[in-house]
């Protein structure tokens, strides 16, 4: 890997970590477009619970990973909401970067093995 590519990847990782760790704390807590559409037609109390009407949100339930350590944009066991959200974002970036890097490493290694096998088959 060239030095230039290494600096580019490190810079990109640093920007992603800063965005995930700092900027994520300022994200809106309001429902996004899908949530808004799913809630259309129902009435809600001050706590956001459905009190009447008919809407898709009445059918919603917890997903299979609702009890996982990183559910709901935070880390279980950390009471500070900003710290929990920031660390969750940083951990997500690192996991994604590690998986992506691992996949690219495997593909590159496999490509080199195929090229070596082809060279050997052709008597080079």
Domain boundaries defined on the chain: 3-29+69-121, 31-61
Distance CA 43, CA 29 (A): 19
Q: What is the 3-state secondary structure (H, E, C) of 7-55?
A: HHHHHHHHHHHHHHHCHHHHCCCCCCHHHHHHHCCEEECCCCCEEEECC
Distance CA 50, CA 56 (A): 11
* pTM (predicted TM-score): 0.67
Distance CA 72, CA 74 (A): 6
Distance CA 51, CA 41 (A): 11
74-113 pLDDT, tens digit per residue, is: 899 999 988 999 999 999 999 999 999 999 999 988 877 7
13-55 pLDDT, tens digit per residue, is: 999 999 999 988 787 777 678 888 999 999 999 988 999 999 9
């Amino acid at each position: 890997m060239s030095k230039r590519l290494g600096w580019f990847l490190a810079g990109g990782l640093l920007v992603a970590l800063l965005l995930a760790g700092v900027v994520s704390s300022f994200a809106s807590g309001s429902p996004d477009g899908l949530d808004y559409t799913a809630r259309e037609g129902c009435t809600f109390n001050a706590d956001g619970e459905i009190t009447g009407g008919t809407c898709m949100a009445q059918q919603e339930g917890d997903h299979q990973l609702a009890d996982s350590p990183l559910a709901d944009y935070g880390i279980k066991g950390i009471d500070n909401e900003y710290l929990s959200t920031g660390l969750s974002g940083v951990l997500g970036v690192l996991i994604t970067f590690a998986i992506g890097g691992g996949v690219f490493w495997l593909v590159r290694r496999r490509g080199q093995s195929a090229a070596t096998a082809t060279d050997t088959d052709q008597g080079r």
